[in-house]
Structure 1
Amino acid sequence: MGENVLPDLHYVAMDFGGHGLSSHYSPGVPYCHQNFVNEIRRVVAGGIVAGMFSCTFPEMVDKLVLLDSSPFVLDFHEVENLLTYKRRAIEYTLQVEASEKPSHVVSPEQMLQGLLKNNSHVSEKCGELLLQRGTTKVATGLLLNRDRRITLPELSLDFISKELFVHFIRKLQAHVLLIKAVHGYYDVRRENDADKEPFLFIIDMLKSTLKEQFQFVEVPGTHYVHMNEPQHVASIIGSFLQSKPRLPYQL
């Protein structure tokens, strides 16, 4: 999508550990978004990870673009289950590592249809693009690059409470653009997607905390609008990146 936004800028597209063309973590090393933040810090001076990075290293980020995402993941009603999620993640990781199940080779068409079946927001063209980095060609078909230890959201996401969310976003120094696809996701756990209360809370807090530093735009499309219909977001992002931040008024 970069050529549709500002072609003169330099863009870095990262595959986090266990994703795309990046290596898998060694046995016993958990997948969590804090590790992904570490990887960004190591490589350069994904939405949730970008938000975490911008709050952890606020002086390094001038502008933050969130595409159908949020800076952090809230667990609105189940804070008491956070330790349960962490335990489940550890136990699942150990289970997968112990199983040593061989990688499954399938034909390109089977791989594409499986991706489309499990991701209703992905178009066929978008699916083909995702599989270019998400698979490896072998003699008999395709191998999925994604580490099997990354499946359920609670296995890698760091859920936080409302109070922590408010505390964290107060650290932001960047100007923030949040683009919401009208038919996108509202919760990382799809079974809770009809509950928009956490997302509305996030928007309200970003508006009240960042004030003129925050811009919210809704666009038609699904979660993968930037790939399916990049024209819906390219001009918005381009204008945001080109705009000069307003300096805070000082007496």
Structure 2
Amino acid sequence: MSPAFEEVRLRLPHIELAAHLYGPADGVPVIALHGWLDNAASFARLAPKLPGLRIVALDFAGHGHSDHRPAGAGYAIWEYVHDVLQVAEQFGWQRFSLLGHSMGAIVSVLLAGALPERVARLALIDGLIPYTGEAEDAPQRLGEALKAQMALAGKRKPVYAEFSRAVEARMRGVGAVSREAAELLAQRGLMPVPGGYTWRTDSRLTLPSPLRLTQAHAMAFVQRLQCPVDLVLAEQGMLAAQPRFAELLDGRPITLNRLPGGHHLHLDDEVGAQLVADCFKAFLRSP
């Protein structure tokens, strides 16, 4: 598969991010957001199947070739929302659509709920709201997060003697993927080190969240959505397994598309990518 993208670096006021650019410069503006521990290669199969769009597929901060956040900073999900807004500002896009997978879908919903005047359309893949927590659990969660943060300095990333071993590890990781998908993610996500390869991702990404939104917080963002929303639900994915998932869609103006495949159905193979593209290509080009 020959890539049809341009590799760019975006110097934002607070951080430098990497991205892949797809499509014509005058295409419909879309920012594509990948899932946790993935990178811009998540859209390597899907983006070329969405003609007429100017797609900026980001590496989130701490992922892929983007900068890590500075020492002392964290990776709260709302910080990604700020990053995406700054990317839109860099391109001069006052209004744009979002194409998000998993965590990227969650970031998309938060931004569209917070600033509905900026987001034209949401195309979501197997993601909608973050894992939530209730008030009574907050002290224990913060304590566990602080302990994990203090212990992080003594931990080391895994080193794989061969590229293929890293690919196999990614196949078995969170949101298991096909070998081809794992290879695409690994090609962008690995870096050489003494003894083999390790992941570029910031180790702080694996820390537990010190604070989670409550269910009421999360639903407030969904309720405030004003733009059209098209959601792809993978039948063997992660979203369908969330408790009370049906309640999230009840009475909401969200178009639901159930498709066969796993959590990374848009990347696992060409068939899945085409099915997702068929859901989104006319939707994202609509005025």
Written as runs of structure 1 = structure 2, the 5 A alignment for 1:60-79 is 60-75=118-133, 78-79=134-135
Matched, 1:55 2:110: no
Matched letter for residue 239 of structure 1 = A
Matched letter for residue 2 of structure 1 = A
1:239 is aligned to 282
For residues 18-65 of structure 1, the C-alpha deviation after alignment (integer angstroms, 9 at most, x for no partner) is: 111112222221211011111111112411111111112211100011
Q: Structure 2 CA distance, aligned partners of 1:161 and 1:169?
A: 13
1:200 is aligned to 246
Q: Alpha carbons of 1:73 and 1:59: their partners in 2 closer, same or farther (altered >3 Å)? A: farther
Structure label with greater radius of gyration: 1
2:181 is aligned to 126
Report if the CA contact (8 A) 2:159-2:195 is conserved.
no
Q: Alpha carbons of 1:108 and 1:49: their partners in 2 closer, same or farther (altered >3 Å)? A: same
C-alpha deviation, 1:139, in angstroms: 6.5
Q: Structure 1 CA distance, aligned partners of 2:83 and 2:72?
A: 18
C-alpha deviation, 1:92, in angstroms: 1.4
Written as runs of structure 1 = structure 2, the 5 A alignment for 1:206-245 is 208-209=251-252, 211=253, 214-228=254-268, 229-244=272-287
1:172 is aligned to 225
Q: Alpha carbons of 1:35 and 1:90: their partners in 2 closer, same or farther (altered >3 Å)? A: farther
Q: Structure 1 CA distance, aligned partners of 2:230 and 2:173?
A: 29
**Equivalent position SS for 1:40:** helix
Q: Alpha carbons of 1:60 and 1:137: their partners in 2 closer, same or farther (altered >3 Å)? A: same
1:248 is aligned to none
Matched letter for residue 124 of structure 1 = R
Give the TM-score of the pair, scaled to structure 2. Answer: 0.71
Written as runs of structure 1 = structure 2, the 5 A alignment for 1:1-251 is 1-6=46-51, 8-45=52-89, 46-75=104-133, 78-96=134-152, 98-99=153-154, 101=156, 104-119=159-174, 121-138=176-193, 140-151=195-206, 154-155=208-209, 159-186=212-239, 193=241, 196-204=242-250, 208-209=251-252, 211=253, 214-228=254-268, 229-244=272-287
Report if the CA contact (8 A) 1:48-1:73 is conserved.
no
**Equivalent position SS for 1:131:** helix
Give the TM-score of the pair, scaled to structure 1. Answer: 0.80
Number of residue pairs the alignment of both structures matches: 225
Superposition misfits of 4+ residues, deviation over 6 angstroms:
none
- What RMSD in Å do the two structures reach over aligned CA positions? 2.3
Matched letter for residue 112 of structure 1 = V
C-alpha deviation, 1:85, in angstroms: 2.4
**Equivalent position SS for 2:57:** coil
For residues 91-133 of structure 1, the C-alpha deviation after alignment (integer angstroms, 9 at most, x for no partner) is: 312321x326477353201111111223463000000001122
Matched letter for residue 136 of structure 2 = E
Indicate the structure with greater strand content.
2
**Equivalent position SS for 1:137:** strand
Structure of higher RCO (CA pairs closer than 8 Å, 6+ residues apart): 1
Matched letter for residue 116 of structure 2 = P
**Equivalent position SS for 1:155:** coil
- Unaligned runs of 5+ residues in structure 2 are 1-45, 90-103
1:249 is aligned to none
For residues 168-226 of structure 1, the C-alpha deviation after alignment (integer angstroms, 9 at most, x for no partner) is: 22322221111100000038xxxxx4xx433112121xxx24x3xx2111111000000
